[in-house]
Amino acid sequence: MPEIIVFGGINMDLFAYIPRSTQEGETIQATSVEFFLGGKGANQAAASARLGAKVSFVGTIGQDQFGIDVKKLISKENIDISKLSSSRDQTGVALINVLKNGRNEVIAFPGANKQTSSKLISDKKLKSCSIVIGQMELEESQTYNLFLRAKKNGCQTILNLAPFKTIKKQLLKQTDILIVNEIEFSGLTRRSSKKIDLKFVENNFSRLDLPPQIKLIVTMGEKGVVVFAGGIKKYFPSRKVKAIDTVGAGDCFVGALGYFLLNDSDIFSATHFAICASSISVTRKGAAESMPSIDEVVKIL
Ligand SMILES: Nc1ncnc2c1ncn2[C@@H]1O[C@H](COP(=O)(O)OP(=O)(O)O)[C@@H](O)[C@H]1O
Ligand SMILES: [Mg+2]
């Protein structure tokens, strides 16, 4: 069975559901507070696994209570965590405020995630796998080393450039599919704009000067998705749903895209599938916790 390796961050997410943003110096009451498994890597691994993919998650936790807690939570998903390592640093934590309209504010502390080494994944393991997914929660050099070996061993590489960072060209050269949201896209262009919409993306794509093999996917929340692949540009609207918590929507998109590509290389069909999956995740609380099953996605395809 083809396999996905997700090389990325794992965090304890502390969610506060709040009526509105606070002003400086102000205290407001949350309507509820919840603890969930998070980290872009862990979320993406959970998304692929719930859909039915064979997934290995490779990352690092600390030797503290949050480390014990997140390990317990990720163990409930059908994910191979034999390469989950631990370090003396604190387990990664994200402080997440979810506003009434489902929008969110996130502060993430990477902690132990930064100790994750690409050496945890052997060439033998890469040979048996078909897709490698990375984000920017780990050290860029480790993701680069892994992608370099992944390409040599015949894997397809997916890079989610989140949280945004200006990266070296060498990492992009080892990337087959680059996934960004609209804010990360504007970071890539080094241009800011009051309105980052479809028009902005279309007008600025050519400024990116991406290596020719890259397929670029720009997700824009409820405003839809644009795919640039092999000289073709295609726009997909998002599904209309009542969003209550959009945390992890992008992670669901990435995990679902990876799952689909295990069996079908068409990037446009994969995008449609990932839009359907992520539209379900925004109707539920939590990040990893909100990922849908394959039956739920098939119903709305
Ligand atoms: N409010 C929403 N309604 C419907 N679908 C949504 C909504 N927010 C996100 N999605 C879906 O999730 C995908 C990823 O969300 P997006 O906000 O673009 O990523 P990120 O979480 O990285 O900011 C979108 O492309 C869309 O398909
Ligand atoms: Mg978004």
Extended beta strands in the chain, E state: 3-7, 11-17, 32-38, 54-58, 60-62, 85-87, 92-98, 104-109, 131-134, 156-160, 177-181, 215-219, 225-229, 232-236
pLDDT, position 191: 87
Domain ranges of the chain: 3-20+30-300
Question: What distance in Å separates the CA atoms of residue 209 and residue 244, rounded to the nearest whole number?
Answer: 37
Q: List the chain residues with pLDDT less than 70.
A: none
- Do residues 245 and 98 lie in contact, with contact meaning Cβ atoms separated by under 8 Å? yes
**Quick check: CB of 290 below 6 Å from ligand 1?**
no
Per the confidence metrics, is the pTM higher than 0.85?
yes
Distance 21 CA to ligand 2 centre (A): 17
Q: Which CATH superfamily is domain 3-20+30-300 in?
A: Ribokinase (3.40.1190.20)
pLDDT, position 286: 87
Question: What distance in Å separates the CA atoms of residue 11 and residue 187, rounded to the nearest whole number?
Answer: 24
Question: What distance in Å separates the CA atoms of residue 294 and residue 51, rounded to the nearest whole number?
Answer: 4
- For ligand 1, atom 17, the nearest C-alpha belongs to 221
**Quick check: CB of 277 below 6 Å from ligand 1?**
no
CA neighbor of 297 nearest in space, from 62, 8, 53: 53
pLDDT, position 53: 98
